[in-house]
Amino acid sequence: MEALLEVKDLTVAYHRKPVLENFNLTVQRGDIYGIIGNNGVGKTTLLKVITGLLRSDRGEVKIRLEGGKKATIGTLIEKPGLFKDMSAYENIKAKALFLGVKYAKKDVNRLLERVGLGDVGRKRTGAFSMGMKQRLGIALALVGDPDILVLDEPINGLDPQGMNEVRNLLLKIHEETGLTVLISSHILDELAKIATRFLVMGRGGKVIRNCTKEEFVQECGEENLDEYYVKLISDFSQDSVD
C-alpha cells in the first residue's frame, strides 16, 4: 500500500542549529499517529513542515492519494484563531471563504453538528468554554474535507470534560470517515485512548519508538505509560552521551 504521507531525510534548523536531522516518517491512510516527546524535541517544527507553514532545509514531504493526486491537510496548531465576536457558524463561513470552498448553510450546519456544536452555532464564540473552542478549532480544520488532520497539542490546558469531548469527537470522526490524523501531546494516557500508532521523539528529532499503540502498551507491561516513557527517553539520553 502506498503511504499517504512520507517524510524523507528531513533536516530543519533555526539559526543554523538543527532541530530535526535526517528525520523519516511514513503515515498510512487511516492511522492516528500520536506524537510524543519532551518540550523542545521538534514536534511543532515537524508538524509545521508537514503542513507547509515552515520550510525545511533539506529533505522532502510527500503527501499524495492513490493515483498520485495531492492530498489536502487541515490544521489546528495549539489554539484556534477564532473571531471571538462572531458566531461559530460565521467563523466556519469565514474559513470556507478564505479557502475558497463553497459552503452552503446546510454544509456549515452539518459540520457544526459533527463537532457537537449544533445547538450553539449562532452564539458568540468569545463565550465558549475551552473544550467548545477546541471542537470549533477542529471543525475549522475540517473545512473542505481534508485527507489529513494535523493537531498540535489540541488537549493541552483542557479540563477532563474538555479532553473527553475532544477525544470522543476525534474517535467519532475517525470511525465515520477513517480520517488520517497526526496528533501531538504529552498527556500519554489520553493519547493512548486515541492513537493507533505512537511516535516517540527524543532530542534532535531522533525517533526513539515508532510502533503500534498495542506494541507500545505491551512493551510498557505493568508499568504506567508515563513511567515507561520517562525510562525510554532517559535510556536514549544515556545512549546519546556515550
The residue (of 108 and 200) whose beta carbon lies closer to ligand ADP is 200
Place of cell 479557502: 99
Of 57 and 107, which CB lies nearer to ligand ADP in the complex structure?
57
Q: In the complex, what is the shortest distance from the CB of residue 12 to ligand ADP, in angstroms, rounded to a whole number?
A: 8
> From the list 7, 23, 31, 44, which residue makes contact with ligand ADP (rule: CB under 6 A)?
44
Is 39 a binding residue for ligand ADP by CB under 6 A? The answer is: yes
Measured CA to CA, the distance from residue 60 to residue 135 in angstroms comes to 31
From CA 163, how far away is CA 98, in angstroms rounded? 29
64 or 186: whose CB is closer to ligand ADP? 186
Strands 73-77 and 148-152: parallel
Q: Cα separation of 219 and 226, whole Å?
A: 13
Return the number of the residue (78 or 90) whose C-beta is nearest ligand ADP.
78
Pairing of strands 197-202, 206-212: antiparallel
- Buried residues in 203-222 as b, exposed as e (16+ CB within 10 A): bebbebbbeebeebeeebee
Decide: is 45 part of the binding site for ligand ADP (CB under 6 A).
yes
Cα Rg, the chain, nearest whole Å: 18
- From the list 9, 14, 53, 171, which residue makes contact with ligand ADP (rule: CB under 6 A)? 14
The site for ligand ADP, by CB under 6 A, has a size of 10
Question: Given the complex with ligand ADP, which of 125 and 185 has the nearer CB atom?
Answer: 185
Binds ligand ADP (CB under 6 A): choice among 10, 19, 149, 181: 19
How far are the Cα atoms of 12, 120, 126 from residue 116, in angstroms, in the given order? 38, 9, 17
> Would you count residue 41 as binding ligand ADP (CB under 6 A)?
yes
The reply to whether 43 sits near ligand ADP by the rule CB under 6 A is yes
Q: Residue from 5, 32, 37, 236 that binds ligand ADP (CB under 6 A)? A: 37
SS3 state of residue 80: coil
Q: Residue numbers of the site for ligand ADP (CB under 6 A)?
A: 14, 19, 37, 39-45
